[in-house]
Amino acid sequence: MSDVEAGRSGAPPLVVMEHITKRFPGVVANDDVSLELREREVHALVGENGAGKSTLMRVLYGMYSPDGGRILVRGQEVKSSSPRVAISLGIGMVHQHFVLVDPFTVTENVILGDENERVLDMDAAHERVGELAQKYGFVVNPRAVVEDLSVGEEQRVEILKVLYRGVDVLIMDEPTAVLTPAEAKELFANLRQLREAGKSIVFISHKLDEVLEIADRITVLRRGKVVGETTPARTSKAQLAEMMVGRPVLFRLEKPDVEIGETVLQLDELHGEGKLNGLSLEVHSGEILGVAGVEGNGQRELAEAVIGLRRPSGGRVVLNGTDITGEHVQAIRNLGVGYIPEDRHEQGLVLNMTLWENAVLGQHDDEPYSSRWGVLSLRTIKELASRLVQLFDVRARSIDVTAGTLSGGNQQKLILARELETDPKLLVASQPTRGLDVGAIEFVWRQILEQKAAGRAVLLISAELDEIYALSDRIVTVYEGRITGEYPPDAPPEEVGRGMLGDVAAEVT
């Protein structure tokens, strides 16, 4: 560690985790993991889902007690473990899923559980919270009610909650998973300011670009073990990915050369609920059309209008020459449309049902899976599920476990397997790799490219420009429910970025 700046290496490390081992029945989640956190640093902890990042941090935060190893904070060994002890030692955690009381104000949420007086002096509390926010450059109104806040603002409230308790170490579990790119930028600015103010931050992520941007040091975990420690200057995205996954990962896949054919999907002047404002586009067979845009510009409504979950108030949805506007989901599916929803827990899987029950969803009322009398054929359904699980390498103990026990990547594989099983003529893929780690992203991308190779049409909706560029044959940008530009796959990102922000670009053909 000689290359660390001299000024920083002089101080003793703030937190030392030595040889931490944490076992769960049948799993070693952390296997002899050691980690050092210094003052004023952003320390990224990267690894695939299930690599043990969150477990390690929960050990540090006192939620789990380790089976082996020890933790030193400012040179003192920590004996007992509980979040209360952790906070008193200056260690706080911002969880991936927010735990805020929606009808409360920002201040009420921040002081919740830490109110010192019986009768609350709210004005003073507002002032304290306002000062705290100002000190670290957080743009948030202490008197605002949480339910009116954006996701990015809610996250700031979560961070303020932790800071209010006077911590020096902030553990952030996948903080950008729920943020738009712009919100992520703002978060990074906040984190830098916190670092300047003397805080140390543990940043758990599997988004490598972000890690390289924000981290001072990076520790990579794979299957519960530390596989390396590095700094952004000494490594690269490809190298980090290889460390995480254990094999080289391709970030650019070969696009199959397929002749682009007839129009499969045509959207004419779609309107709806103020979210779609005259959106028109076409997707052809053998083509992947990438719809780029900042989230919340009508992408969700667009996807739902195509699959039939939402009836547009105006305009037409035409599939292979047939007007399907306002048809029922089942009818549209039967015409050959597959759907990968942006939220796999809300629109993809039923988490407390088994893999086989999920595998047949959408086909469950077709022969041979259910009879004319409405009796399910468990045998054929389970055969289908076993085949899909094997084909798409869904890692599960059995098809009888519930879908909720799978990791995000395996859940997405299951959805892909199910949606592609019917050989759809059109695949609507909405944020198909959200929350997935690099290995799984590569898998999903390959599958989408395979659809193209088979001459099918793909409507790819993504907020990740990387993904749009990696897959699309043609790119359109969506802004406030309208298409603002069309670009070839080699258009400069700045140009596409302008379209995403609403500048109507010159039509490129």
501 binds another protein (CB under 8 A): no
Residues with Cβ within 8 Å of 497's Cβ and at least 6 positions away in sequence, in order, are 465
354 binds another protein (CB under 8 A): yes
- 225 within 8 A of 199, measured Cβ to Cβ: no
Comparing CB distances to another protein, the nearer of 174 and 216 is: 174
Comparing CB distances to another protein, the nearer of 127 and 450 is: 450
Among 256, 328, 367, 508, binds another protein (CB under 8 A): 328
Beta strands 263-272; 314-319: pairing state:
antiparallel
Q: Which residues in the 40-69 window bind another protein by CB under 8 A?
A: 49-50
Q: Which stretch binds another protein (CB under 8 A): 99-107, 227-235, 338-346, 462-470?
A: 338-346
96 binds another protein (CB under 8 A): no
- Burial (CB count <10 Å: 0-12, 13-18, 19+), residue 463: buried
Of 439, 408, 395, nearest to 342 by C-alpha is 408
The span from the CA of 473 to the CA of 293, in Å, is: 16
Q: Please identify which residue in the block is written with the tokens 């302008």.
A: 498
Q: What contacts 24+ positions apart, CB below 8 Å, involve 380-383?
A: 381/356, 381/357, 382/356
Q: Which residues in the 107-166 window bind another protein by CB under 8 A?
A: none
The span from the CA of 497 to the CA of 350, in Å, is: 36
Q: Which stretch binds another protein (CB under 8 A): 118-126, 131-139, 230-238, 372-380?
A: 372-380
**Residues in contact with another protein, shown as a per-residue x/- string from 11 to 40 under the rule CB under 8 A:** -------------xxxx-x-----------
CB of 369 to another protein, least distance (A): 9
Of 124, 123, 154, nearest to 140 by C-alpha is 154
Among 106, 394, 429, 459, binds another protein (CB under 8 A): 394
Beta strands 457-462; 426-430: pairing state:
parallel
CB of 159 to another protein, least distance (A): 28
379 binds another protein (CB under 8 A): no
In this structure, the chain runs to a length of 509
Among 21, 266, 347, 422, binds another protein (CB under 8 A): 347
The span from the CA of 43 to the CA of 36, in Å, is: 9
The span from the CA of 45 to the CA of 408, in Å, is: 19
Q: Which stretch binds another protein (CB under 8 A): 88-96, 169-177, 201-209, 368-376?
A: 368-376
390 binds another protein (CB under 8 A): yes
The span from the CA of 259 to the CA of 450, in Å, is: 14
Among 182, 401, 454, 508, binds another protein (CB under 8 A): 401
Residues with Cβ within 8 Å of 79's Cβ and at least 6 positions away in sequence, in order, are none
Given CA atoms 113, 115, 120, 122 in this order, what sign does their dihedral have? Answer: negative
378 binds another protein (CB under 8 A): yes
CB atoms within 10 A of CB 132: 16
405 binds another protein (CB under 8 A): yes
250 binds another protein (CB under 8 A): no
223 binds another protein (CB under 8 A): yes
- Using CB under 8 A as the criterion, which residues of the chain lie in contact with another protein when the complex forms? 24-27, 29, 49-50, 223-224, 246-247, 307, 309, 328-330, 333, 339, 341, 343, 345-354, 357, 361-362, 364-365, 370, 374-376, 378, 386, 389-391, 393-398, 400-402, 404-407, 410
